[in-house]
């Protein structure tokens, strides 16, 4: 089993969708990522929480075998996010963000974390992403996420990060903003020319596209009868994707495609319930079954 | 080779996209459908044009071996549509519609057209779709299209049509309006319970979903570097899909899935140029090559 190091946010979320509402539940990009990846690989988590962070959440993360030596606990309050979704469920409307202890987050890397098989730089300030990269021997595989706030506000620092990573995982709106083009194929050409060997574009309910030098791979999202809360789907996807790559150590085109499907499978579970509630009760057999259902969803016979 | 009968519109389009503009070019749902289907099956076309319809367009349709005995020529002007697309290219903004001779269109069915293998009822008044169904012995396979105008304005007549068809082909916005639910899986359950055995939901640049009793099949759209004009993509998809089914006579689940891919392949060509310009110079070898590229785009190995 490989080891995955993730740097990102742990938060308390207040979320409303047409199917319900929850307050101060476990959330954050690194939380979704770690929990998802924990089904595939050993996960080391670097993040920060405040004094108010409920111990039952720590116990849950420990129950998933996630190493918390890098989870700093600081004076002050935990990062809070409040958002709501309309019936379309495609984009959250942020009602409130309180960075709290996350505002002054400076990732500290425990000695035991210095040689991961895979590093995932969650959506944080590109300067901090660079800082993490400079503090570590180059891991065999490095992936990162970002958001429009950094694409627009710290474009130069972000490109310096991208020159050093293997995989960029973003959504379609972010891809268009980064590549300054509405056509995703052209965006991919621009991004791949400047560093990352793989560009993965998440399209919510419409699925995922992966571009690299050799191929384009496209997967629809798994059609679900009950989608309750899309929060964390993208980070859950990244966790399943990189978790599979960390677990197998295989870097073939085929391994990347299967990893995309594992990521999509994990995301399809997350959206079935609020917070991480579906992942709490998930077992590996269900993951395998949905992978096979995904194969049936997309498979057709080639021409002779 | 099977025979396909299509009833729909032939139009002259004026279209503007971020990549160019054209005036009074060949368009119309039945035109795109017929031309696409003509690569797979014999096509009989029922539609109406005015006295001003350019003869070179008739010659083009004839060059595709489309039978025009059912293309009525009436006093007055041909149906005109004027629209434009923003950079997103996902939805047209209609600037002007002049129905002209199409306003009083009453489909007349030539004797030679009475026994098609497949019937496609294009997007016309559901009362006229019913009229066509009542005038013919039931063809082995019947598909139809519709639009929000009829879903909202003639819902009862439309459901009477749907009770008599095998396949409904609509876009995602139309599906949500028809099923009165934002969740497409729930929409599919409602629609399949009331008549059609297959529901095909077109999602533009995001691809297609097909629902039936036995399965769900999802295909992404083929990622293209140059998308110039999405006009007609949905009708081109339907033409390739039903053309393949008409050609093979095979009604297996596998044949339906390959038909979805053929439809997607044909649509991917149409959007590369304005009007039917890409289809004019297309050959069957290119279709086969893109089918194979589509297989590479979506294929991954199942779990052992």
B298/A217 Cβ within 8 A? yes
> What is the C-alpha separation between A301 and B189, in angstroms, rounded?
26
Q: Please check whether residue A44 is in contact with residue A67, taking contact to mean a CB–CB distance below 8 angstroms.
A: yes
User: Per-residue confidence at A88, pLDDT binned at 50, 70, 90?
Assistant: confident
User: Per-residue confidence at A31, pLDDT binned at 50, 70, 90?
Assistant: very high
Q: Percent of chain B at pLDDT above 70?
A: 100
Comparing CB atoms, the residue among A18, A223, A302 nearest residue B218 is A223
Q: Please check whether residue B117 is in contact with residue B140, taking contact to mean a CB–CB distance below 8 angstroms.
A: yes
pLDDT over threshold 80, residue B90: no
The secondary structure element, H or E, covering residue B221 is: none
CA B4 from centre of chain: 12
The pLDDT of residue A89: 82
> What is the C-alpha separation between A195 and A159, in angstroms, rounded?
8
DSSP string, A228-268: ---TTHHHHHHHHHHHHHHHH---SHHHHHHHHHHHHHHHH
Q: State in Å, rounded, how far the first CA of chain A is from the last one.
A: 39
The pLDDT of residue B88: 79
A302/B183 Cβ within 8 A? no
What Rg do the C-alpha atoms of chain B give, in angstroms?
18
Return the DSSP state at B67. Answer: E
> What is the C-alpha separation between A198 and B156, in angstroms, rounded?
50
pLDDT over threshold 80, residue A90: no
Q: Rounded to a whole number, what is the distance in Å from the CA of A90 to chain B's nearest CA?
A: 11
> What is the C-alpha separation between A257 and B299, in angstroms, rounded?
8
**pLDDT per residue over A46-73, tens digit each?**
999 999 999 999 999 999 999 999 999 9
Would you state the torsion angle of the CA atoms of residues A138, A141, A147, A149, taken in this order, to the nearest 10 degrees? 10
The pLDDT of residue A160: 97
User: Per-residue confidence at A156, pLDDT binned at 50, 70, 90?
Assistant: very high
Q: Please check whether residue B63 is in contact with residue B87, taking contact to mean a CB–CB distance below 8 angstroms.
A: no
> What is the C-alpha separation between A165 and A197, in angstroms, rounded?
8
Residue closest to A199 by CA, chosen among A178, A220, A230: A178
User: Per-residue confidence at B304, pLDDT binned at 50, 70, 90?
Assistant: confident
The answer to whether A76 faces chain B, any CB pair under 8 Å, is no
Q: Which residues pair with A202 in a beta bridge?
A: A171, A208
The pLDDT of residue A87: 83
Residue closest to A81 by CA, chosen among A38, A123, A127, A39: A123
State the angle between helix axes of A233-248 and A29-37 in degrees (0 to 180), rounded to the nearest 10. Answer: 40
Higher-confidence position of A36 and B86: A36
The pLDDT of residue B1: 75
3-state per-residue secondary structure call for B211-268: EECCCEEEECCCCCCCCCCCCCHHHHHHHHHHHHHHHHCCCCHHHHHHHHHHHHHHHH
Q: Are strands B11-17 and B20-27 parallel, antiparallel or unpaired?
A: antiparallel
pLDDT over threshold 80, residue B21: yes
Q: Is A159 exposed, middle or buried (0-12, 13-18, 19+ CB in 10 A)?
A: middle
Q: Which residue in chain A has the smallest CA separation from B225?
A: A185
User: Per-residue confidence at A84, pLDDT binned at 50, 70, 90?
Assistant: very high
A211-233 average pLDDT score:
96
With beta carbons under 8 A apart, name residues in chain B contacting A180: none
Q: Which residue in chain A has the smallest CA separation from B261?
A: A300
Comparing CB atoms, the residue among B183, B217, B300 nearest residue A227 is B183
B224/A220 Cβ within 8 A? no
pLDDT over threshold 80, residue A1: no
**pLDDT per residue over A234-292, tens digit each?**
999 999 999 999 999 999 999 999 999 999 999 999 999 999 999 999 999 999 999 99
The pLDDT of residue A163: 97
| ipTM confidence | 0.94
User: Per-residue confidence at B210, pLDDT binned at 50, 70, 90?
Assistant: very high
| CATH number, span B3-298 | 3.40.1190.20
The secondary structure element, H or E, covering residue B86 is: none
B295/A302 Cβ within 8 A? yes
The answer to whether A183 faces chain B, any CB pair under 8 Å, is yes
A303/B288 Cβ within 8 A? yes
User: Per-residue confidence at A208, pLDDT binned at 50, 70, 90?
Assistant: very high
Task: Give the 3-state secondary structure of residue A186.
Answer: helix
> What is the C-alpha separation between A105 and A99, in angstroms, rounded?
10
Q: Please check whether residue A77 is in contact with residue A104, taking contact to mean a CB–CB distance below 8 angstroms.
A: no
A 114-173 residues with CB below 8 A of B?
A: none
A295/B298 Cβ within 8 A? no
pLDDT over threshold 90, residue B91: no
**pLDDT per residue over B190-202, tens digit each?**
999 999 999 999 9
> What is the C-alpha separation between A27 and A31, in angstroms, rounded?
6
With beta carbons under 8 A apart, name residues in chain A contacting B203: 206
The secondary structure element, H or E, covering residue A22 is: strand A20-27
B203/A298 Cβ within 8 A? no
The answer to whether B299 faces chain A, any CB pair under 8 Å, is yes
Q: Within chain A, what is the greatest distance between any pair of CA atoms?
A: 65
Residue closest to B191 by CA, chosen among B217, B150, B158, B218: B158
**Domain limits, chain B:** 3-298
A169-193 average pLDDT score:
96
Q: Please check whether residue A33 is in contact with residue A238, taking contact to mean a CB–CB distance below 8 angstroms.
A: yes
Q: Percent of chain A at pLDDT above 90?
A: 96
The pLDDT of residue B253: 95
pLDDT over threshold 80, residue A217: yes
B220/A209 Cβ within 8 A? yes
The pLDDT of residue B76: 97
Q: Is B224 exposed, middle or buried (0-12, 13-18, 19+ CB in 10 A)?
A: middle
Q: State in Å, rounded, how far the first CA of chain B is from the last one.
A: 39
């Amino acid at each position: 089993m490989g080891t995955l190091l993730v740097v990102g946010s742990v938060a308390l979320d207040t979320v409303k969708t047409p199917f319900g509402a929850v307050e101060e539940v476990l959330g954050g990009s690194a939380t979704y990522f770690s929990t998802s990846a924990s089904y595939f690989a050993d996960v080391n988590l670097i993040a920060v929480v405040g004094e108010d962070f409920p111990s039952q959440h720590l116990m849950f993360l420990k129950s998933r075998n996630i190493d918390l030596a890098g989870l700093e606990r600081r004076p002050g309050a935990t990062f809070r996010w409040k958002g709501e979704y309309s019936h379309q469920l495609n984009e959250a409307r942020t009602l409130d963000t309180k960075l709290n202890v996350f505002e002054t987050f400076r990732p500290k890397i425990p000695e035991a974390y210095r040689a991961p098989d895979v590093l995932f730089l969650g959506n944080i300030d590109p300067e901090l992403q660079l800082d993490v990269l400079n503090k570590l021997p180059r891991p065999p595989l490095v992936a990162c996420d970002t958001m429009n706030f950094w694409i627009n506000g710290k474009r130069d620092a972000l490109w310096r990060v991208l020159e050093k990573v293997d995989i960029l995982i973003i959504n379609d709106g972010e891809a268009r903003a980064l590549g300054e083009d509405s056509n995703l194929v052209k965006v991919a050409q621009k991004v791949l020319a400047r560093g990352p060997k793989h560009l993965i574009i998440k399209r919510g309910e419409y699925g995922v596209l992966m571009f690299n030098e050799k191929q384009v791979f496209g997967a629809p999202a798994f059609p679900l009868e009950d989608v309750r809360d899309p929060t964390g789907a993208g980070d859950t996807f990244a966790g399943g994707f990189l978790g599979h790559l960390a677990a197998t150590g295989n870097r073939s085109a085929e391994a990347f495609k299967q990893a995309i499907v594992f990521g999509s499978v994990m995301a399809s579970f997350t959206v079935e319930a609020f917070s991480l509630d579906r992942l709490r009760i998930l077992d590996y057999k269900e993951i395998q079954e949905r992978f096979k259902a995904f194969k049936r969803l997309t498979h057709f016979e080639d021409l002779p």
